[in-house]
Amino acid sequence: MTLAPAAADSLAIAASGLTYRVALPNPSNHLFEVTLQISDWQSEIVTVQMPAWTPGSYLLREYARHLQNFRAQTATGQPLLWRKLRKNAWQIETQEHSEIYISYQVLATELTVRTNHLDRSHGFFTPAALCLYIDAWRDRPCQVEIKAPEGWNVATALPAIAHNCFRAADFDTLVDSPFEIGPEGTQEFTVLGKKHYWRTWGGNLDSDRLLADTARLIETEAAIFGGLPYDHYWFILHLSSGGYGGLEHRDSTVLAFDRQAITEPEGYRRFLQLVAHEFFHLWNVKRIRPKALEQFDYEAENYTPSLWFSEGATSYYDLLLPLRAGLYGVDSFLEALGKDLSRYLTTPGRKVQPLAESSFDAWVKLYRRDAYSDNQQMSYYLKGQLVCWLLDLEIRNHQPDRSFDDVLRLLWQRHGQGPEIGFEEAELRQIFSEVAGVDLTDFFERYVDGLEELPIAAAVDSLGLQLLPQGCDRPSHGLRLADEQGRCQIKFVASDSPAEQAGLMIGDEIVALNGLRVSADNFSRRLATYQAGQVLELTIFHDDQLQSFSLTLAEPQPQSYNLRPAATVTSEQRDRFQRWLGLEPQL
């Protein structure tokens, strides 16, 4: 890589700061080539480092593992001595030069919302996964210059100061501003006087529908908080085979979705929920955030017990907002909520891991799932969503003219508007009690700190709904199976199930059931003729050893649940349901 200083007409930071020059000379090799210019340095040594994670995705992702060919030199091309201090930190001897150039390459082969991807069709990078920084200079301005292939253009929320040249007020702002680079066009639209942009890679969508639906979501969310707290906003969408996910940023979001599913009615509804979720984060977590996330430590875990609110409330609202915006009806809303209730009620880990602990342990559990995770942990997204739903109903029960919206507005006033001040968990809980007009300490101790079962049945009944169990026609065994290369493999063994008691393990191969060859496809059908209490003789391979196990079937257990209106409802239930969803009273 050539380390020549920028050309005379290239922009440089006026006083002191960092200039990143990002080149894509050969997209087919998947390497971003980065030159970092450090201006006005006044010490004999400078240490640069790469973040280990990016805000919004709570796992140390060790971005430095993709960095290669690190070099340092002066403005005249004189090499500078350097040594590696840590896995993600390099120390350079400046020889009293005030202008230093560092070059390196970053391999970009991971197409996710939190990493980097570069190929012949486009380039995408998350600054935390690409940009080195100086810890003492995190508050200094940063400049990014993109050298893109002919015909490619740049999409980012950062303000442009010249063609393909952008400025960030500080490193935190840079980290919060992803870049999409490619030949695709940008769709611009205005909502509430603010400019918004869609940039889509990997497929084509009905742009008129997309922009209209997005505008309605933006208006619906802005109504909660009283306006939009930005000058402009970018939606960057990656369509791929099987893609799904999102990562929030202060003035933008990156979304990933399956290009086939998004064209289908159910898939498009899920996509609208994803858009609503990530856009909602511009308030909840980007501006209203836990104290532990007020100032980021990019090298280590940033622990907080409050992710159940930051993600759970956002997940609750990503169901409500498309309904409020008129993008789907009550039936679709209840179907989606029913699926979430099913996931929760069929996850054994809900009896093991408290919600606050799930939040705190995000760094070592949520993003590091394994075959046993469903027995050991509970998602703070999922349970947090249901706890927020119950808190919404709790507030409405005590104060019929108030709701969860009032909690959000109070948090916005105290912790988001003006100077952003992170909230402590105790402050968050106090605001809920303040809005409800009653002390909710007992609620939090039971359902956030403790393991008591959520009062779902009572909540459902209070709304004139019913939660109907499904899949109770066969005795239970606690196994989840899959056919792989002609083998019936055990993928999951539920805690305290007949399978666990029999001694079966994840990874075992079931060869026969009562002497007959079996597959994952026909295993369940075979059980249609059996009753609880009967014993199955299973022949398996465990670590290539042929073994036999006796499994005593248990009473049928629900495999899922359907949420639907009850056959008969009282006027009180109907009124509560309509108020909850903001529906017009039925005459």
Is the per-residue pLDDT at 13 higher than 90?
no
440 forms bridges with which residues in the sheet? none
Tokens of 502: 């029999």
Is the per-residue pLDDT at 359 higher than 70?
yes
**pLDDT 10s digits, 360-373:** 999 999 999 999 99
Tokens of 455: 């009062």
Tokens of 339: 């699926």
**pLDDT 10s digits, 286-330:** 999 999 999 999 999 999 999 999 999 999 999 999 999 999 999
DSSP annotation string for 452-492 = PPP-HHHHHHHTTEEEEEE--SS-B--EEEEEETTEEEEEE
Q: What is the CATH number of domain 291-462?
A: 1.10.390.10
Residue whose tokens read 């010249």: 162
CA distance 173 to 179: 13
Is the per-residue pLDDT at 9 higher than 50?
no
Residue whose tokens read 């075992």: 508
**pLDDT 10s digits, 207-241:** 999 999 999 999 999 999 999 999 999 999 999 99
Q: Which distant-in-sequence residues (6+ apart) come within 8 Å of 316 by Cβ?
A: 384, 385, 386, 388, 389, 392, 404
Under DSSP, is residue 564 helix (H, G, I), strand (E, B) or coil? strand
CA distance 28 to 118: 8
CA distance 62 to 81: 25
The pLDDT assigned to 16 comes to 61
Q: What does pLDDT average to over the chain?
A: 95
Range 48-73 average pLDDT:
97
Residues recorded for the chain: 587
Work out the percent of the chain whose per-residue pLDDT is above 90. Answer: 94
The pLDDT assigned to 17 comes to 84
Amino acid found at 140: R
Banded model confidence at residue 585, pLDDT cuts 50, 70, 90: low
Q: For 377-483, where are the alpha helices, taking DSSP H only?
A: 380-398, 404-411, 425-436, 441-447, 456-462
Residue 164 contacts residue 145 (beta carbons within 8 Å): yes
**pLDDT 10s digits, 422-446:** 999 999 999 999 999 999 999 999 9
The pLDDT assigned to 3 comes to 41
Residue 91 contacts residue 47 (beta carbons within 8 Å): yes
CATH match for 17-182 among 3.30.1780.10, 2.60.120.10, 3.30.70.20, 2.60.40.3650: 2.60.40.3650
Q: What is the pTM (predicted TM-score) of this model?
A: 0.94
Same CATH fold assignment for domains 291-462 and 479-552: no
Range 5-31 average pLDDT:
72
Could you tell me the residue ranges of all domains in the chain? 17-182, 186-267, 291-462, 479-552
489 forms bridges with which residues in the sheet? 482, 509
Q: What is the CATH number of domain 186-267?
A: 3.30.2010.30
Helix 571-581, helix 380-398: angle, nearest 10? 120
Banded model confidence at residue 418, pLDDT cuts 50, 70, 90: confident
Under DSSP, is residue 474 helix (H, G, I), strand (E, B) or coil? coil
**pLDDT 10s digits, 110-132:** 999 999 999 999 999 999 999 99
Residue 360 contacts residue 304 (beta carbons within 8 Å): yes
458-477 exposure pattern, b = at least 16 Cβ within 10 A, e = fewer: ebbebbbbbbeeeeeebbbb
Does 2.30.42.10 match the CATH number of domain 479-552? Answer: yes
